[in-house]
Structure 1
Amino acid sequence: MADADTCRLCTQIIDTHFGPLTAKVASTLLTRGRLSLLQLVRFTGIKSRTVRASIIVLIQHNILWHAHTDDEGEMLEFNTLECLLRLRFGRYVWLAESLFGRTSAEIVQVMLDHGKLRPPDIISRLSRYDPKSASMYVQSLYKLVSESYLKPSTLLSHNSPRDKRIKYEGEEKAKMTGFPTAKELREAKVTAEARLRREEKEAEKVGLKRRMKEQPSARSSKDRVYFRVNFDKFNIHVRNKLIETAVEERFNRSAALVMCATLKATEPKQKSVSEIRSDPTSTAAIGMHIPDDENLSEGLATTSKKPSNASLIKDYLGLLACADNPTPAGKAASYVSLGDNKISVEFDTISKRMRRRVLEAVTRERHGDDGVRIVRLLLDVGKMDEKHIAKVAMMANKDVRPLLSALSSDFLISTQEVPRSADRNPTRTFFLWHVDLAKAYSALLSSFYKTLFNIGVRRQAEQEEPNVKAVLLKRERTDVAEDVNLLTRMEREVLAEWERKREMLSVLEMRVEEAVFILRDLDLGGSVDDV
């Protein structure tokens, strides 16, 4: 089950998108865990027919999982991650339009509105008022499917992966002889996860191939397949943009252009944000993605009067790879790796550094520069006692002690007890401070979910204000929509103020959601527990 902040945020999202009755069903599943239909009816106090309709809606939008057990029968489980991704739907539509054009954006919008659809249903809905535009939508749909921005919806995607993961882990543990070690348990978990992902990919491929074997026509076979939006493919573009922005902030715009070109050169083979590094590419391929009107020499101090683009790209790649610092610190600060005239983007290294930046930013906001100094010290050195921290950080003991307590109360740092006697007497125990990244990131995620919930509550409260509500209702009239001058000067001022507040809240929501993306979606090592 999810924590309290995640439950409130998910319930708010479901209430906004599907209404209060469906939100009550979702809230019951979030707070009580997996339930059967009869249990849902009893705990929600809603009529069975309404509960069934809510379940159908949530399943249609991939927010509920099925789980069948011999003891309990068919159970329903809430898919928290799928629900939280609905906060990015606007960005996904914008990405589709910027990548493929307006028609592709309309297809993605329809898919997000309906959860999953067959190609004929998509085309008929979009070309209802203009039948001649059907061919354009067919071409756009083919491009989205061929490049994996839409993927087939299979039976496996409706089953809870947790059950299969537990089953596969049990099978791996059964192969072990004797008492398993911690390393063997980790390997069993990794093997089970890899097997589960492999099954999901094979199911998506078979979903199309099987239809093609059943039907003589490939077109008629694909018409029977239900498609859904592949969020992972859109998340790749979100990640790449964050990396490009990080390079520009650290170096300059020219370095960001080379980083962007490197990402575009490897983009066709990027399938998921869980990739540790990109496929290798060449300097020539990177140069093809740099616009001809860009002057890369502006960002470097060169000795030659007119260096070639190829040499400039090599210099920038050496800068991004920290080639002048072949130490562990230099490797941890790199963006790409060089080897045998091939360049790879190190997504894992970049993701770790970006998550650490979020941790330091939150620490600075809550506890100032002194808090960041202590967190960085513990991350670099490891476990330290209070006196050693004060000595190395060059701070007074009276200042370090309350700061450590404040950081610990926010779960940014943790303690490790080292008893000197078997009775674990506190007076004979060393207390070492350290940063537990998994715990810190999990606490930050919970805090961000709480912030997102508060933003939604504030937006709703501003909209329900009597003057604003009256103006918004009047604006929905057809005559006012055609002529805004029908609104009085006072009403226009109220509307402008409401739109200003809504824009500010939307910008804040995007920034917080970006931090959530870095902590949760870019967690390649699994340091953050599943919500």
Structure 2
Amino acid sequence: MADADTARLCVQIIHSHFGPLTASVASALLTRGRLPLLQLVRYTSLKPRTVRAAVLILVQQNILWHAHSEEEGEVLEVNTKECLMRLRFGRFVWQAEQVFGKAAAEIVQLILDHGKLRPVDIVAQLSIYDPKSSSMYSQALHKLVTASYLKPSTILSHNSPRDKRIRYEGEEKAKISGFPTAKELREAKETAAARLKREEEEAEKIGLKRKPKEQSSNRSNKRKAVDEEVFVDDEVYFRVNFDKFNIHIRNKIIELAVKERFNSSAALVMRAALKATEAKQVSSASVRSDPTSIAGISMHVDDADDLASGLVTSSKKAPVASLVKNYLGLLSSADNPTPSGQAAAFVSLSDNKVHVEFDVVNKRLRRRVLEAVTRERHGDDGVRILRLLLDTGKMDEKQVSKVAMMANKDARPLLSALSTDSLISIQEVPKSADRNPTRTFYLWFVDLPKAYSVLLGSLYKTLYNISMRRHAEQEESNVKAVLEKCERSDVSQDETLLSRLEREILKDWEKKREKLMVLEMRVEEAVFILRDLDSSGTIDDL
């Protein structure tokens, strides 16, 4: 069940997209947990027909999961991650247009509006005013499906994966004889997760069909060469694959991080390295990319890019491959082979193969968000203590004040403030069995999963406040009257029908809306770094 801040944000998103009745159904599920349909009707105080229609809408939009309980039968549960992903729908449509063109963007937008659709319905809906454009949309749809930007909607996508993972873990634990060890329990969880992932991959292979097409061979007319033609299955419902679009967001963040640390030329090389393996990247939480070569990266560098401006070289016209190799040496921290240097690397070089170390970069990005929040709340001294505990481990109060070169009277209240915000945690080590506080060591350390989880909840609260602020600004009497007047057909065609005061009110409202949108995008980027770049999956399990 979601926490209070996440639940409020999800209810607000559903309210703005589907109305108050659907939001009341989602609110009951988010506050009370999974419920059967009869109890959902009782808690919402709505008519059964209304609740059933709201449930159908949320299921169609992939926001509700089905689950079967032995005690209560079929129950419903809100997929909070799917609901929160709706904040990025505009960015997904923009990315589809940048990669595949306007026709693909229209397809993605239509599927996002309906949740899931069949290829026949997609082409018929988009080409209703221009039947000749059906072939263009069919080609764009084929590109999106083959590139995994669209994936089939299966039965597994409507069932809660947590229930199936728990059942699989129970089956694996039942195979262990005797008292299970920590290693055996970990292996059981890994086996259950691999089994669930394998089932999902097998279920998503139904989107494409192969049609054999016989062609005459050039060598002999008697022999036939069979060529398989791949086409999209018209009977399968497709939905948007968010992971594939999240890859573009992650790659852009990594490119900006390289530009911030080195220069724009190094960022161009990193972008080329990411493009070289972009087709094989399947998830934004991958540990590392597939191997590529320096020549493959050089092919993705544009001729107009001036890589020599970012390096001091002896020759003025060095070959592109040589410049790329020099930049990769910088990105891999080849001049610093120590553990600290490798922890600060972006790529790794081995046997002329280049890997982009996503896991290393993701950890560094998430730590940077944590340090930024700590600096904003507790200043540079708080960041100093946080870095000390992250690098050293568990330390008591006297050690922290000594190593951080701070007075004990200054370190004590700062440690308490950091602990109150869950940025650091405390570990009790009793000297005796009675756990007497006077005979107990108190060690401070950074519990990263807990800190990230609490910080993520705070960011959800910020997103909710931004949305409510935008709604309150829009509902002001003067602004509301002007916006209603702008919706008139004559005013939309001729803005001179607005008075001077009305134009000033409209301009002021547009400035406020733009500022709130920029702030929302920045906060959402921090949410993406903390949640979607978590390769270990600890945030989802909390």
Which category describes the TM-score, using the shorter chain as reference length? over 0.9
Matching of residue 248 in structure 1 with residue 279 in structure 2? no
Match in the other structure for 2:374: 363
* Residues 348 and 355 in structure 2, CA contact (< 8 A), matched pair in contact too: yes
Correspondence 1:338 to 2:357: no
Question: Contact 1:239 / 1:273 at 8 angstroms: preserved in 2?
Answer: yes
What is the one-letter code of the residue matched to 2:27?
Answer: S
Alignment of 1:394 onto 2:405:
yes
Task: Report if aligned partners of 1:282, 1:343 keep a CA contact under 8 Å in 2.
Answer: yes
Separation (CA, whole Å) in 2 of partners of 1:49 and 1:220: 40
| 2:433 paired residue among 422, 427, 430 | 422
**Within the alignment, does 1:485 sit opposite 2:511 as a pair?**
no
In 1, Cα distance between the equivalents of 2:316 and 2:483?
62
Q: Which residue of 1 aligns with 2:215?
A: none
**How far off its partner does 1:449 sit?**
0.3
**Counterparts of 1:148-297 in structure 2 under 5 Å?**
148-206=148-206, 208=208, 222-297=233-308
The answer to whether the 8 Å contact 1:322/1:330 transfers is yes
Structure 1: how far apart are the matches of 2:210 and 2:264? 48
CA deviation digits over 1:226-251, x for unaligned, max 9?
10000000000000000000000000
8 Å contact kept, 1:211–1:222: no
Q: Which amino acid aligns with 2:314?
A: T
Q: CA deviation at 1:183?
A: 2.6
Distance 2:470 2:211 in 1: 46
The superposition leaves residues 269-301 of structure 1 with CA deviations (integer Å, 9 ceiling, x where unpaired) of: 111112111000001110011111112111111
Report the Cα distance in structure 2 between the residues aligned to 1:211 and 1:182, rounded to whole angstroms: 49
Q: Which amino acid aligns with 1:381?
A: T
The answer as to whether partners of 1:116 and 1:226 remain within 8 angstroms in 2 is: yes
CA contact (8 A) 2:332 2:342 kept: yes
Map 1:105-116; keep pairs closer than 5 Å: 105-116=105-116
CA contact (8 A) 1:211 1:221 kept: no
Find the counterpart in structure 2 of residue 72 from structure 1.
72
Q: Distance in 1 between matches of 2:77 and 2:484?
A: 38
Give the structure 2 partner of residue 503 of structure 1.
514
Q: Which residue does the alignment assign to 1:304?
A: 315
1:462 aligns with 2:457: no
| Cα 1:221–1:446 shift into 2, 3 Å | closer
Alpha-carbon shift at residue 306 of structure 1 (Å): 2.5
C-alpha distance in structure 2 between counterparts of 1:467 and 1:496, whole Å: 12
Percent of matched pairs sharing the same residue: 72
Listed as ranges, the gaps of 5+ residues in structure 2 are 213-227
Correspondence for 1:445 among 456, 462, 478: 456
* RMSD after superposition: 1.6
Bigger relative contact order, structure 1 or 2 (CA pairs below 8 A, ≥6 apart): 1
Q: For structure 1, list consecutive stretches of 5 or more residues without a partner in the other structure.
A: none
Change (3 A) 1:43 1:416: same
Aligned to 2:216: none
Residues 377-405 of structure 1: per-residue CA shift (max 9 Å, x gap): 00000000111111101111111011001
TM-score by length of 1: 0.97
C-alpha displacement at 1:185, in angstroms?
1.6
Taking the aligned partners of 2:5 and 2:141, their CA distance within structure 1 comes to 38
CA contact (8 A) 1:118 1:225 kept: yes
Q: Give 2:217's aligned residue.
A: none
Cα offset for 1:526? 2.2
Residues of 1 paired with 2:453 and 2:110: CA distance?
Answer: 34
Does the 8 Å contact 2:247/2:284 carry over to 1?
yes
Say which SS state the counterpart of residue 538 (structure 2) adopts: coil
Measure the CA separation in 2 of the matches of 1:506 and 1:191: 43
Question: What is the distance in 2 between the residues matched to 1:270 and 1:513?
Answer: 22
- Find the counterpart in structure 1 of residue 138 from structure 2: 138
1:277-330 C-alpha deviation (Å, 9 max, x unpaired) = 100000111001111111211111122332211111111001100011111111
Q: Indicate if the aligned counterparts of 1:154 and 1:207 stay in contact, CA closer than 8 A.
A: no
Amino acid at match of 1:30: L
Q: Is the 8 A contact 1:416 1:433 kept in 2?
A: yes
Alpha carbons 2:67, 2:76 under 8 Å: kept: yes
**1:462: Cα distance to partner?**
0.2
Specify the alignment match of 2:97 in structure 1. 97
Could you tell which deviates more after superposition, 179-188 or 323-332?
A: 179-188
Return the letter of the residue paired with 2:430.
Answer: P
Deviation at 1:207, TM superposition (A): 5.4
1:152–1:208 Cα contact (<8 Å) kept = no
**Separation in structure 2 between the aligned mates of residue 304 and residue 384 of structure 1, nearest angstrom:** 52
Structure 1 distance, partners of 2:140, 2:164, is: 36
Is 1:119 matched with 2:119? yes
Determine the C-alpha separation between the residues in 2 that align with 1:461 and 1:530.
35
- Aligned equivalent of 1:326: 337
1:63 alignment counterpart? 63
After TM superposition, the structure 1 stretch with the greater mean CA deviation from structure 2, 459-468 or 188-197, is 188-197
Looking at structure 2, the residues matched to 365 and 221 of structure 1 have their Cα atoms a distance apart, in angstroms, of 51
Matched position secondary structure for 2:314: coil
Aligned length: 527
For 2:462, the aligned partner's letter is: T
Q: What is the CA deviation profile of residues 504-524 of structure 1, one whole-angstrom value per residue up to 9, with x for unaligned ones?
A: 000000000000000000000
- Deviates further, 188-197 or 248-257: 188-197
Asked if the contact 2:209–2:233 (Cα under 8 Å) also holds between the matched residues in 1, the reply is no
TM-aligned CA deviation for residue 223 of structure 1: 1.2
Deviates more, 1:148-157 or 1:129-138: 129-138
State the match for 1:83 in structure 2. 83
Query: 1-side partners of 2:293 and 2:399: how far apart?
Result: 48
Could you tell me how far apart the structure 2 residues matched to 1:91 and 1:258 are?
24
Equivalent-residue separation in structure 2 for 1:282 and 1:232 (angstroms): 25
Q: Deviations over 1:471-524 (max 9, x none)?
A: 000000000111111111110110111111011000000000000000000000
Aligned-partner residue type, residue 71 of structure 1: E
Matches of 2:463 and 2:297 in 1, distance apart? 38
Write the letter of the residue equivalent to 1:471: V
8 Å Cα contact 2:111-2:117 kept in structure 1? yes
Deviation at 1:69, TM superposition (A): 2.8
Q: CA deviation at 1:208?
A: 4.5
- Cα shift at 1:211: 11
Question: Matched residues in 2 for 1:413 and 1:219: separation?
Answer: 54
* Segment drifting more, 32-41 vs 168-177: 168-177
CA contact 1:151–1:230 (8 Å) conserved in 2: yes
